[in-house]
Structure 1
């Protein structure tokens, strides 16, 4: 009887754990798909990673102070499409925390960026995701750039 009770008690915890892992894997896959689409200059794949009204916020430290630019994802995608395949190469350095609560999630991802095969800069991408149907999509991407 005790074994049945323990099993019934643990089943929901195991299901939640499996769902979280599945969601984390999906979030990582969206990030990797974004980077791959940038590298291959694939507008369809890149667009599929973002919500229709997604925004990017780029933080740069300049002599006059910290400057944060806001760019609609549509403009970002247009800029990527002006590149040649292989020109842009963003690489995940490590997976920071990925936090999920139902239909929202965040991911902290240190990265390095290469332009034409040469190191350009590094920084951290902070993704905010929303789940639409069964898919997580990027709602906001905040990143910084430094040497």
Structure 2
């Protein structure tokens, strides 16, 4: 009985996936590049989906390393905040999807909004980021 109870603590859970994403955003806002790097699995890519002014859909791809570097290089006088909506978590064994709407502010002004979609893998008794895809729009943030 003891071994069954103990082994359940190392199993992936929706609560642990949600907590990892919340810790990611804490490190993000703290510009903690060391901590941000601990959340990544191998070769994480970030993709952003948006529309150009002419209405053409565009997908931008960046490496996680470039993302971490850009966050840590934001000047101290720039106030940035990503305000998250409700996090929705779905898991299937060692795979999780964490989805949340967001609004991104720079110096207390709305820059853009959209949805974040984190794909996570449970490995070495922790959730790690496989990929992040977000949508970005300038208007209709309250829709």
TM-score by length of 2: 0.81
Matches within 5 A, 1:15-30: 23-30=13-20
* 1:69 is aligned to 2:60: yes
SS in 1 for 2:13: helix
Q: Which stretches in structure 1 are left out of the alignment for 5+ residues?
A: 1-15
RMSD: 2.3
Give aligned pairs, total.
Answer: 131
Question: Structure 1: how far apart are the matches of 2:75 and 2:38?
Answer: 20
Map 1:1-147 → 2, pairs under 5 A: 23-62=13-52, 63=54, 65-84=56-75, 87-96=79-88, 98-146=89-137, 147=139
Which sections of structure 2, spanning at least 5 residues, go unmatched? 1-7
Which entry has the higher C-alpha Rg, 1 or 2? 1
Once the 2 structures are TM-superposed, how far is the Cα of residue 118 of structure 1 from its aligned partner?
A: 1.9
Higher RCO (CA-CA < 8 Å; seq separation 6+):
2
Q: Which aligned runs of 4 or more in structure 1 are off by greater than 6 angstroms?
A: none
> Could you tell me the TM-score, scaled by structure 1's length?
0.79
Cα deviations by residue, 1:37-91 (Å, 9 ceiling, x for unpaired): 1211100111112113111001111125110011110111011111135732112
SS in 1 for 2:35: helix
The structure that is helix-richer by fraction is: 1
Inter-partner Cα distance in structure 1 for 2:17 and 2:83: 16
